[in-house]
Structure 1
Amino acid sequence: MQLSDEEEDYNLSLSKFESMLKTNKVLFFDSEEFEDIILHYLDMGKANLAKKALKLALEQHPRSTGLKLVQVEMLVYDDKLDQAEKLLNELYAIEPTNEEIYIQQANIFSKRDNHEKAVELLNIALKYTDDYADVYNLMGMEYLFMDNLEMAKESFIKCLEEDFEDQSALYNVVYCFEFLDQNQEAIDYLTKYIDKNPYSEIAWHQIGRLHYGLKEYENAIRAFDYATLIDDEFLGAFMERAKALERLKKYEEAIESYNRTIELDDATSYALLRIGKCYEKLGNKVQALNFFNKTVHEDPLLDKGWIAITDFYVRQNNFQKALFFVNKALAIDNQNRMYWKRYATINKQMNFFEEAEFGYRKAVEFGDYALDTWLFWVDILQFLGEFETCIQTLLQASEYFPEENEVEYRLVGLYFMIQDTTKAKFHLSNALRLNFDNYIILEDLFPVVWTRKMVQNYIAKHKK
């Protein structure tokens, strides 16, 4: 690719400067060359080289406003805000109509979390600048810091009106629309944007994402198709397209799209997992298992991979294999509540009740507070005859589910089992109030309690 004259001059200046540093010979550069060199090193994160260049620059051009503004930028970068402010005041006395002075002042106020003042200064910069897009973009960022999404959105839109190719502003506009829950308005805006800039793959991709969020999968796929036609290596668009196809149950096309992402980049565990899921939906169990195995090989820490392969064997009623893989997963991460819940469920299916109880206990210990987890755990404890532990566990569960009839009915049965009639009646009253018809839980789980005349009379009385 042939470089422009400007790029050639820029590269020549850099080479010349670096050669000077190696030989210790002092060469002359004009002030604009120095500005480009300093900003290049700042962009590269090479602050020491930028400072060296600035020192030499100011020695050669001590009166250059442009270089002094670069000096301000470096002082701000180093959080030397007072020094930067002092230098800006000096520059203001010389060039009060230089927009860069107001931009840097705004940057200082922004660093001090005074974003309102920063916006005020950027509005002054608008009076003197030729680069409106840059100032509107900075203004949009200040409004984002203030959580004023409407004003941020307006600023980024104005930025795009000045420079429709500013991709960061385009992303930020969409972010504002989405944050404000204005997805349809975002689609309308992007549609108008595309009328002026039809070859913007970013805009097409964003429209696709928004349609996907609205569950308009056909429209999403159409937009992703345009994005990939404009850029046939747009990995994100192929990935989103595959997800939309999967939603429409077009699994073979989804697999093609996921495979395209693998061609463009190294295989990701997510793509491999989704391909496995698609093959499973198509009934191709061999390929599904193949891709689930590839998923856990690619990323052993991805819990969704281990869960997919474990659940696959559970659906085949092959509990031995399912247990083998969930144990492998637990060997990698023994604090994963989803692994422990599956460990418990599988052991329960195999009638290994003590192991199942241990699994549910660990699942709760590591943060699984779902109602069914508590109830499965308690029902196994009851089967094992651990009535007191059952009660303590249910009381713990009731802190998360204070108005849950399934918890209350179990407490009724357990309190009757340990002969605590007062508490049993209290919880029976609660349970019947919460869901009268669910008293069948007592009949199913506590048949001995159910046959008691006291219980039957209490229910009959409540029914009246």
Structure 2
Amino acid sequence: MPFDLNDDEDLSIKKFELMLKSNEVGFFDSEEFEQIIEYYLDEGKMVLARKAIGLGISQHPAAVTLKLFKAEMYIFDNEFPQAEHVLNELFEIEPQNAEIYIQKANIYSKTERHDKAIKLLKMALDLTLDQADVYNLIGMEFLFIEDYSNAKVNFMKCLELDDTDYSALYNIIYCFDFLEEHQQAVDFLNLFLNKNPYSEVAWHQVGKQYFDLKMYEKSLAAFEFAIISDDHFVGAYLEKGKVLEKLGRYQEAIENYQITLTLDDPTSFAYLRLGKCFEKLGLEDDAITYFKQCVKEDPLLDKGWLSIVNFYTNKLDYQKALSYIIKATETDADNALYWTKYATINARLNFLEECDYGYRRALELGNYELSTWIDRCDVLLKIGDLDTAISNVESGLEFYPQDVELLYRLAGLYLKKGAHIKGKFYLQNALKSNAEYVMILEELFPLVFNNPEIQQLIKV
């Protein structure tokens, strides 16, 4: 089957795929193979990329670029010895080829030898015409070893060479944020904006930095400049809305959040913030409508469910609050926040067994806050399950060994159960820690507290 050479990329790809279907081999020049391979790599079609690499090298065994693709594929498959073998062969042929250094650095990076990767990439800088990409790679290596200062420097060099590289700009700000250098970030961004006054991304980042610095008026101005630079920039409207909320300008915040709903697909965040703003304004019907829209848009957003639950809890409508927290647990049964809230609502309704279940699930899922152990103990005490209450408090003391509230509770539980030696031991420890908290014993264990023997111990 005849094939005509054609420089058009689409035609080359169609010709290559037709060749594979027909099971006949056609000839392509090395540049066509490069285009075909790059296309398949960009599309994530690795099987076809491998076929193109294999056929390309068979037709052009001396083509360095095709062999570099072969090394890259070996690296992708974590076949590092094979990749190094290919790269070493290529180094003998073209020792000044920057891509060889870059791919070798990639192997070092993937095998967590980041210092060696950085060293090779710095060597590649002197050999490449595309220094911006190499500075970006060096920056990423420094990020891997959590050297944010050096990472920041290299991303800055990348941005100096290509001021449209917003990924480098975002990485620079990420480094500033991690180092908590918010004012330095503002200074850097202002210098960048002097050269690029209509960069909506830079204005957006300036606004976020001012927000972190609690300089809300300046933050607001920055987001307004971002919107002037691009009036379809959804992120700027969202951030502007957040600032307006901080300033108590809820109606204006609502207007900005609502604009985002017209510019792009609605987001659960926008619905949530709209609900919060309407709630602040006392417009309850609008608030609950947007909270419900929020969880409909993203059922896994816990802030949405908790906003609904808190809305009804604040209205003392515990039955409705319970129905929604149950829906939340059905959506995500592994969210400890939901189970803690489930427990507190059931406590309000005096459903003690369900309350205990909620606290137990929260603890199983890692909610080890002191209040969880304490509140569960008090519920178990009301139920009359002293053994489980003791086990619960002892578990809490593993996390908070000196907590006086737990110590008094454990003392009271043991004394109530009749284990006087253990009870007195924990009571003495509690009294030494803070005698004023003995009111816990009086409130939760009045019979124990009024026992003459215990009174004598307290007075001593």
User: What TM bracket, shorter-length normalisation?
Assistant: 0.7 to 0.9
CA contact (8 A) 1:344 1:356 kept: yes
Alignment of 1:191-206 (within 5 A): 191-206=190-205
CA contact (8 A) 2:136 2:168 kept: yes
Counterpart of 2:92 in structure 1 is: 93
- What is the identity percentage for the equivalent residue pairs of Structure 1 and Structure 2? 48
Query: For 1:202-251, what per-residue CA distance to the aligned partner results, in whole angstroms no more than 9, with x for missing partners?
Result: 22222222222333333322222222222222222322322232233322
Alignment of 1:32-111 (within 5 A): 32-54=31-53, 57-58=56-57, 62-111=61-110
Amino acid at match of 1:22: L
* 1:175 maps onto 2:171 in alignment: no
* 1:320 maps onto 2:319 in alignment: yes
TM-score, with normalisation over the residues of structure 2? 0.87
CA contact (8 A) 2:102 2:121 kept: yes
Counterpart of 1:274 in structure 2 is: 273
What is the CA-CA distance between 1:285 and the residue it aligns to? 0.7
Counterpart of 1:252 in structure 2 is: 251
Query: For 1:108-135, what per-residue CA distance to the aligned partner results, in whole angstroms no more than 9, with x for missing partners?
Result: 3333433322222222222222222122
Counterpart of 1:7 in structure 2 is: none
Amino acid at match of 2:239: E
What is the CA-CA distance between 1:280 and the residue it aligns to? 0.9
Task: Pick closer, same or farther for the CA change 1:205–1:458 going to 2, 3 Å.
Answer: same
Alignment of 1:358-397 (within 5 A): 358-397=357-396
CA contact (8 A) 1:20 1:26 kept: no
- Give unmatched runs, 5+ long, in structure 2: 1-5
- Give unmatched runs, 5+ long, in structure 1: 1-9
How large is the Cα RMSD of the aligned pairs? Answer: 2.9
| Distance in 2 between residues matched to 1:65 and 1:133, nearest whole Å | 23
| Distance in 2 between residues matched to 1:62 and 1:396, nearest whole Å | 68
| Distance in 2 between residues matched to 1:384 and 1:33, nearest whole Å | 78
What is the CA-CA distance between 1:31 and the residue it aligns to? 4.3
Counterpart of 2:453 in structure 1 is: 454
Task: Pick closer, same or farther for the CA change 1:298–1:389 going to 2, 3 Å.
Answer: same
Query: For 1:410-435, what per-residue CA distance to the aligned partner results, in whole angstroms no more than 9, with x for missing partners?
Result: 23333332333333322222222222
Counterpart of 1:15 in structure 2 is: 11
Alignment of 1:333-348 (within 5 A): 333-348=332-347
Counterpart of 1:291 in structure 2 is: 290
Query: For 1:341-382, what per-residue CA distance to the aligned partner results, in whole angstroms no more than 9, with x for missing partners?
Result: 333322322333343334333333443332222222222322
Task: Pick closer, same or farther for the CA change 1:134–1:259 going to 2, 3 Å.
Answer: same
Alignment of 1:394-409 (within 5 A): 394-409=393-408
CA contact (8 A) 2:12 2:36 kept: no
Residue correspondences, number: 452
Task: Pick closer, same or farther for the CA change 1:11–1:342 going to 2, 3 Å.
Answer: farther
Aligned with 2:126: secondary structure? helix
TM-score, with normalisation over the residues of structure 1? 0.87
Amino acid at match of 2:148: L
| Distance in 2 between residues matched to 1:357 and 1:81, nearest whole Å | 54
Counterpart of 2:3 in structure 1 is: none
Task: Pick closer, same or farther for the CA change 1:277–1:121 going to 2, 3 Å.
Answer: same
What is the CA-CA distance between 1:288 and the residue it aligns to? 0.9
Amino acid at match of 2:97: N
| Distance in 1 between residues matched to 2:430 and 2:345, nearest whole Å | 31
